């Protein structure tokens, strides 16, 4: 809910951010001559960020409504960003990599034909799992080790072991519950047991935000390794289909290409110590279904405008900006980038800041929880991530805005960085999770509704952006970039430490909004 007019908020945030920067940066050693913090803050205008979003919207409109990796829309998005950065004087690299491309050629279908007929709605009740094969099947539904009703806390291991399929009738459609293992394992075991199709439905726990496991899972089976259609569904649909004697008809019409090419856009500043790299990033691709203006045009536009305004700053530390490809297919661009770094190159990256969905219409102001102080049992970031969290907390306090912690679940492009021990942080305003009454009281907006009702849908367009959230978070990005560009007390070292406790190296969490696993 927009508490102020857009024009009024631009003035307020610009003025408060200008006053905030010297307060937050006090105590950090800076190079001489010291640039003017007020001028830099005011140069990163939300109206300019919004113009980048408008351009991304236009690119999608010119390219079948999408900017997904492997499409002309993403290529045009990358060209736009790279062109702006080159003109600003950055050393720009287009890092090309292959990835398994996927798209729905036509919309999937799902309907119950017995005992009573019912048609389900694509995008609301069910969707295609990314990398599902094509197929058109009518068959009996057979539940696989289901836990109904669900336990209070996530516990389902449905479809995670071959033994779960003992007695499975060949030709039936496997109905599998979300939980414990990745979707690819569930689909592959179902096919091996003779299933003609698979429906993976949400586990069913009631909660708020990412803890709610009733809605539609937007997931991927990682790669096109199965040869049967695989759909995902809400808990309500799965519970209904689990009734004895249920028969359904389902279809998927998909295209996969194991060797499609896409690219990351990387920009390096001309200034600063190359042994002390401060890195900011966001994913540039959308899903195939829509233009992706909030997810993640918003983060990309905020990072881009910050980079353009920072191009002339004679910084103490080196700034590097990344615009990732194929994030929506499993963080593939950031994974590729981190995997290609030598140990020496990793050690030069002192921190990574990630901005994914910074303008959700029913927003919260979420800060990645670097020290696991907000939720017991969630993975903390590598040492130094807590300092990043505190910097963002200081910004929101200074501009008079509430904030909350959001967990490192591995759901976005910080994941590959924290897995190798690089301190990380960033901002997130919410995806498909449901806003609680407490969050509505704290941030405004509508309790009981998704943070972004257009998440991964065609309506994620320029009208799906909250101007207040965009303005406040754009100021936060600019503040963090300025502070760390001049600080001689950076959060960490980036020494490789894959899989060590506390780095988030244990795989993607169960609440990923780009669900790869569980």
pLDDT of residue 518: 42
This prediction has a pTM of: 0.79
- Tell me the pLDDT band of 25, cut-offs 50, 70 and 90: very low
CA 339 to chain centre: 19
- Whether the per-residue pLDDT at 12 is higher than 50: the answer is no
Number of C-beta neighbours around residue 170 at 10 A = 8
Element (H, E) at 350: strand 349-355
Of the pLDDT bands very low, low, confident and very high (cuts 50, 70, 90), residue 218 is: confident
CA 100 to each of CA 169, 255, 282: distance values in angstroms, whole numbers, following the listed order: 31, 10, 21
For 240-254, 322-336, 466-480, 498-512, which range has the lowest pLDDT when averaged over its residues? 498-512
**Residues 91, 268: contact at Cβ < 8 Å?**
yes
What is the pLDDT, as a whole number, of residue 388? 97
Q: What is the pLDDT of residue 463?
A: 97
Averaged pLDDT, 140-166: 96
16: exposed, middle or buried (C-beta count within 10 Å: 0-12, 13-18, 19+)?
middle
Instruction: State residue 510's pLDDT score.
Output: 28
Q: pLDDT confidence of 505, banded at 50, 70, 90?
A: very low
Higher pLDDT, 464 or 7: 464
Instruction: Give the model's confidence band at 41: pLDDT under 50 very low, under 70 low, under 90 confident, else very high.
Output: confident
Per-residue pLDDT at 509 exceeds 80? no
- The pLDDT-based confidence of 147 (bands split at 50, 70, 90) is very high
**For residue 320, what are its two tokens?**
């590097």
Residue % of the chain over a pLDDT of 70:
85
Distance CA 293, CA 54 (A): 8
Cα(501)–Cα(505) distance, rounded to whole angstroms? Answer: 7
Q: Mean of the pLDDT values across residues 43-47? A: 91
Alpha-carbon separation of residue 362 from 55, 197, 345, 346 (angstroms): 23, 36, 39, 37
The band of 211, judged by pLDDT with boundaries at 50, 70 and 90, is confident
Mean pLDDT to the nearest integer, 304-329: 95
Measure Cα distances from 50 to 4, 47, 300 in Å.
Answer: 17, 5, 11
Short-list 297, 213, 278, 226, CA closest to 509: 213
Compute the C-alpha angle 274/277/279, nearest 5°.
Answer: 145
Q: Can you name the CATH fold of 102-256? A: Glucose Oxidase; domain 1 (3.50.30)
> Per-residue pLDDT for 5 more than 60?
no
> At residue 258, does pLDDT exceed 80?
yes
Q: Are 405 and 507 in contact (CB under 8 A)?
A: no
pLDDT at residue 9 greater than cutoff 60: no
Catalytic residue from among 305, 327, 389, 432: 327
Question: What's the mean pLDDT in 37-56?
Answer: 87
Q: How confident is the model at residue 409 (pLDDT cuts 50, 70, 90)?
A: confident
Provide the β-strand partners of residue 103: 255
pLDDT above 50: residue 220: yes
In CATH, the number for domain 6-90+269-486 is 3.40.630.10
- Please give the pLDDT value at position 273: 96
Alpha carbon distance 441, 455 (integer Å): 23
Instruction: Categorise residue 297: left if φ over 0, alpha if ψ from -120 to 50, beta otherwise.
Output: alpha
pLDDT over 70 at 175, yes or no? yes
Q: Average pLDDT over the chain, rounded to whole?
A: 88
273: β partners = 317
Q: Tokens standing for 404?
A: 């909350």
Is residue 80 very low, low, confident or very high in pLDDT (cuts 50, 70, 90)? very high
Give the start-to-end residue ranges of the domains of the chain: 6-90+269-486, 102-256
At residue 188, the pLDDT reads: 98
Nearest one of 283, 291, 273, 367 to 321, comparing CA atoms: 283
Better pLDDT: 219 or 452:
452
The predicted model gives 463-482 an average pLDDT of 96
Residue 494 in this model has a pLDDT that exceeds 60: no
Catalytic residue check, 327: yes
Show the 3-state SS of 228-280: CCEEEECHHHHHHHCCCCCEEEEEEEEEEEEEEEEEEEEEECCCCEEEEEEEE
On the question of pLDDT at 1 being above 70, the answer is no
- Scored b (16 or more CB within 10 A) or e, 183-221 reads bbbbbbbbbebebbbbbbbbbbbebebbbbbbbbbbbbb
For residue 258, give Cα distances in angstroms to 43, 100, 108, 286, 475.
43, 4, 21, 19, 40
- The pLDDT-based confidence of 36 (bands split at 50, 70, 90) is low
Q: Which residue has the higher pLDDT, 44 or 424?
A: 424
Which DSSP string do the residues of 157-210 spell out, in sequence order?
Answer: -TTSSGGGGTTPPTTSEEEEE--SSBHHHHHHHHHHTT-SEEEEE------SBT
Q: Is 476 within 8 Å of 367 (Cβ atoms)?
A: no
Q: Is the pLDDT of residue 502 over 70?
A: no
Residue 17 has pLDDT above 60, yes or no: no
- The pair of structure tokens assigned to 467 is 């101007």
Q: How do beta strands 230-233 and 126-128 pair?
A: antiparallel
Determine contact, residues 356/316, Cβ cutoff 8 Å.
Answer: no
């Amino acid at each position: 809910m927009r508490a102020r007019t857009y024009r009024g908020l631009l003035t307020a945030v610009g003025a408060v951010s200008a006053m905030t920067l010297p307060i937050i940066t006090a105590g950090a050693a800076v190079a001489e001559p010291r640039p003017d913090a007020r001028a830099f803050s005011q140069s990163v205008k939300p109206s300019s960020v919004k113009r980048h979003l408008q351009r991304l919207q236009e690119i999608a409109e010119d390219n079948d409504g999408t900017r997904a990796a492997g499409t002309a829309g993403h290529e045009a998005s990358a060209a736009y960003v790279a062109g702006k950065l080159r003109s600003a004087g950055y050393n720009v690299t287009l890092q090309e990599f292959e990835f398994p491309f996927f798209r729905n050629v036509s919309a999937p279908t799902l309907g119950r034909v017995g005992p009573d007929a019912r048609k389900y709605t694509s995008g609301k009740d069910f969707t295609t799992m990314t990398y599902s094969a094509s197929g058109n099947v009518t068959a009996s539904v057979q539940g696989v080790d289901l836990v109904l009703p669900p336990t209070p806390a996530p516990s389902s291991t449905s479809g995670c072991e071959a033994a779960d399929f003992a007695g499975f009738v060949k030709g039936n459609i496997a109905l599998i519950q979300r939980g414990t293992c990745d979707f690819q394992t569930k689909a592959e075991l179902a096919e091996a047991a003779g299933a003609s199709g698979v429906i993976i439905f949400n586990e069913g726990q009631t909660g708020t935000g990412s803890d709610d496991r009733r809605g539609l899972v937007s997931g991927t089976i990682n790669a096109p390794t199965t040869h049967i259609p695989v759909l995902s569904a809400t808990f309500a649909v799965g519970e209904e289909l689990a009734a004895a004697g249920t028969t359904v008809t389902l279809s998927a019409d998909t295209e996969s290409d194991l060797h499609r090419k896409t690219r990351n856009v990387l920009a390096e500043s001309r200034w600063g110590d190359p042994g002390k790299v401060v890195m900011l990033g966001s994913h540039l691709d959308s899903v195939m279904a829509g233009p992706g203006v909030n997810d993640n045009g918003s983060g990309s536009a905020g990072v881009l405008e910050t980079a353009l305004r920072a191009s002339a700053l004679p910084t103490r530390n080196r700034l590097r900006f990344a615009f990732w490809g194929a994030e929506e297919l499993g963080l593939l661009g950031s994974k590729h980038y981190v995997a290609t770094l030598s140990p020496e190159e990793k050690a030069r990256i002192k921190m990574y800041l990630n901005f994914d969905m910074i303008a959700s219409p029913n927003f919260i102001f979420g800060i990645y929880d670097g020290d696991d102080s907000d939720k017991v049992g969630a993975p903390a970031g590598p040492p130094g991530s807590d300092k990043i969290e505190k910097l963002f907390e200081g910004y929101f306090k200074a501009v008079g805005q509430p904030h909350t912690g959001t967990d490192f679940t591995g759901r976005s492009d910080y994941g590959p960085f924290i897995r190798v021990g690089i301190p990380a942080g960033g901002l997130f305003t919410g995806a498909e999770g449901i806003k609680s009454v407490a969050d509505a009281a704290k941030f405004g907006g509508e309790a009981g509704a998704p943070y972004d009702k257009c998440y991964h849908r065609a309506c994620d367009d320029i009208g799906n952006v909250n101007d207040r959230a965009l303005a406040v978070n754009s100021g936060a990005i600019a503040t963090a970039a300025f502070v760390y560009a001049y600080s001689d007390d950076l959060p960490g070292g980036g020494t490789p430490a894959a899989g060590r406790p506390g780095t988030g190296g244990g795989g993607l969490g169960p609440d990923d909004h780009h669900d790869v696993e569980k």
